[in-house]
Amino acid sequence: MKAEKRKKILIYIGLTFLAVLMIIPFYWMLISSVKLNKDVFSIPMEWIPRSFHFENYQEIWEKIPLLTFFKNSTKLTVITTIIQLATSCFAAYGFAKLEFKGRDFLFLAYVTTIAVPWQVYMVPQFTMMSKFGLNNTHIGLIMLHAFSAFGVFLMRQFFLSIPKELSEAARIDGLGEYGIFARVVLPLAKPGIATLTIFTFVNVWNDFMGPLIYLNSTELKTIQLGIRMFISQYAADYALIMAASVCALIPVVIIFIACQKFFVEGVAASGIKG
């Protein structure tokens, strides 16, 4: 027992050490956002600032149209997340619960696209969107993220873990496939939905290359492009850059806190059945 207890203590110490290492960059960003610019890279480093300059947060909103960038990012992220959740759940239900010819092959072919790097089809994709006249529009970016092979794979794993007997009982009671999907399967897949929501939200909110390639107008740019624009204009003002970065991080933290009780359960359950 003593050896087991010692082992557990060592594991917890190691995990605590790793957690602290992960938190340090975020803490540095946070304290740098309330320092004077000259103090950001001071040596020795001030882990607790002598004075807090919260006016940095006010100044960053005045120097660039940060509110516009936030609205654009929120619009793109919320709409894309809702659409991707809908398409992923519907497709995953078909692959997990319906029997049709070529189902497994079609699923395998679709999921295999996860292994294809975006850089491989970036140019033909851009050409296609240009011909459709969807460059420099939010609709184009939303369409590019509307379907997700990863989302379908993740949700299918959850749907497979739901006993078939529940669906069969619902069919006997007279429910159609849409009714079974909405009333039986979805309520039992809340951890999967929460997990996919977090992944999709973070991915779209933090996307830099997509908006950089497709958006040209300042009034359409996202928060990530806005921070990049600020860096190009005020390259040496690191305190304000950190303040903008903290602002950009807040929605991601809120979403994670809102869905965290399902997140661990969701990640664990997604590998139950293949």
Flag whether 34 is in a domain: no
Model confidence over 22-49: pLDDT tens digits? 888 889 888 988 888 887 777 777 788 8
Write the CB contacts of 42 (distance below 8 Å, at least 6 apart in sequence).
none
pLDDT of 273 reads 43
**Which domain covers residue 235, as residue numbers?**
55-269
Q: Note whether residue 10 is domain-resident.
A: no
Residue 178 forms part of a structural domain: yes
Residue 12 lies in a domain: no
Number of domains observed in the structure of the chain:
1
pLDDT digits (tens, 9 = 90+) for 136-174: 899 999 998 888 899 999 899 888 888 888 888 888 888
Q: Is residue 28, in this structure, part of any structural domain at all?
A: no
CATH code of the domain in which 179 resides: 1.10.3720.10
In the predicted structure, residue 61 carries a pLDDT above the cut 50? yes
Residue 74 is predicted with a pLDDT of 94
d(CA 65, CA 56): 15
Report the Cα 187 to chain-centroid distance in Å. 22
The predicted pLDDT at position 200 comes to: 92
8 Å CB contact between 152 and 85? no
pLDDT for 89: 93
**257 — phi, psi (to 5°)?**
-65, -40
Six-digit token pair at 141? 């970016």
Tokens of 173: 């009671």
Both ends of the chain: CA-CA distance in Å? 37
Residue 229 resides in a domain: yes
CA distances from 57 to 34, 70, 89 (A): 8, 14, 39
**Owner of token pair 């749907």:** 159
Domain assignment of residue 214, yes or no: yes
Which positions ≥6 away from 258 have C-beta within 8 Å? none
Mean pLDDT, residues 75-100 taken together: 92
Question: How does residue 264 score in pLDDT terms, banded at 50, 70 and 90?
Answer: low
Note the pTM of the prediction, 2 decimals: 0.83
Q: Is pLDDT above 60 for 271?
A: no
Closest CA to 60 of 185, 249, 227: 227
Q: Round to whole Å and give the CA distance between 244 and 238.
A: 10
Q: Is residue 22 part of a domain?
A: no
